[in-house]
Amino acid sequence: MRMTWPKLPHGLVSNPVWLQIADEASSTPAVACMLYLQARDYASQLRYRGWFLGGFSPDDARVFLGADPDEVARVAGLIADRGMVDDDPHLI
């Protein structure tokens, strides 16, 4: 059985942006990074694979992360404010 590994851009999980977002959202870098990674994972599973996030539920991510709903909303808002998600919504 051959395994395939997802390819993440180098430095994505250790990007200082997660520290900044976590600090501003009173969260943790792990929650900030994982929310973004879960959004990428969701987008990659759609029929038209890519960066589209229509239908992505931050609440599902919240349950997985065991995070507070307000915390996840703050983190998601800051990810969008940083230009990592556009208005369509698409990941950038």
Calpha distance 48→34 (Å, rounded): 22
Q: Do 53 and 42 meet the contact criterion of CB atoms below 8 Å apart?
A: yes
Per-residue pLDDT of the chain (92 residues; tens, 9 = 90+): 676 666 777 888 888 999 999 999 999 999 999 888 888 887 777 766 555 666 777 788 888 888 888 998 898 888 888 877 655 554 54
Calpha distance 91→48 (Å, rounded): 14
Calpha distance 31→66 (Å, rounded): 9
> DSSP letter at 2?
-
The model's pTM is 0.77
